[in-house]
């Protein structure tokens, strides 16, 4: 039971077994963690990345860790930028739709008001 099927003494004996959704979630998380550690496809394993950074830093562990963190911050920033560009592309449609929905459909009302439908 649990995140990585780790058994420990804190699990009560009468605990219910994992349901199908919990088992699926645990398997999914386990695969993601394994992929991060082993490095799927063309990506290097975490061990290889750490060894390379340590070699490039001349054996200085702090510099190696700083370099790895800096590299990942750059990658996350690029991903956030790309996501933001997607938001900018959809904004010309989503913003007017949001304004129309908030002005024409009061909370709790499904049919649009007659003024929005041009019936007044």
What is the domain count for the chain? 1
Residue 103 falls inside a structural domain: no
User: pLDDT band for position 86 (50/70/90)?
Assistant: confident
Q: What is the pLDDT of residues 18-55, one digit of tens each?
A: 788 888 999 999 999 988 888 888 888 888 999 999 99
Contact 44, 53 (CB under 8 A): no
Domain span holding position 46: 20-90
Residue with tokens 């649009």: 112
Residue 112 falls inside a structural domain: no
How far apart are the C-alpha atoms of 103 and 120, rounded to whole Å? 16
Tell me how many degrees the CA angle 54-77-83 measures, rounded to the nearest 5: 140
Contact 48, 64 (CB under 8 A): no
| Whole-number average pLDDT of the chain | 81
Residue 14 pLDDT > 80 = no
Residue 55 falls inside a structural domain: yes
Contact 39, 46 (CB under 8 A): yes
Residue 100 pLDDT > 60 = yes
Contact 113, 104 (CB under 8 A): yes
Residue 108 falls inside a structural domain: no
Give me the pLDDT at residue 105, please: 62
The model carries a pTM of: 0.54
């Amino acid at each position: 039971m649990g995140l990585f099927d780790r058994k420990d003494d804190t699990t009560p004996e009468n605990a219910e077994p994992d349901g199908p959704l919990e088992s699926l979630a645990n398997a999914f998380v386990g695969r993601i963690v394994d992929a991060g550690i082993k490095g799927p496809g063309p990506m290097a394993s975490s061990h290889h990345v750490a060894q390379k950074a340590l070699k490039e830093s001349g054996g200085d562990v702090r510099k190696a860790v700083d370099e790895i963190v800096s590299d990942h911050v750059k990658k996350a920033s690029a991903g956030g930028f790309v996501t933001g560009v997607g938001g900018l592309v959809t904004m010309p449609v989503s913003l007017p739709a949001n304004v129309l929905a908030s002005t024409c459909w009061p909370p709790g009302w499904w049919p649009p008001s007659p003024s929005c439908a041009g019936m007044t």
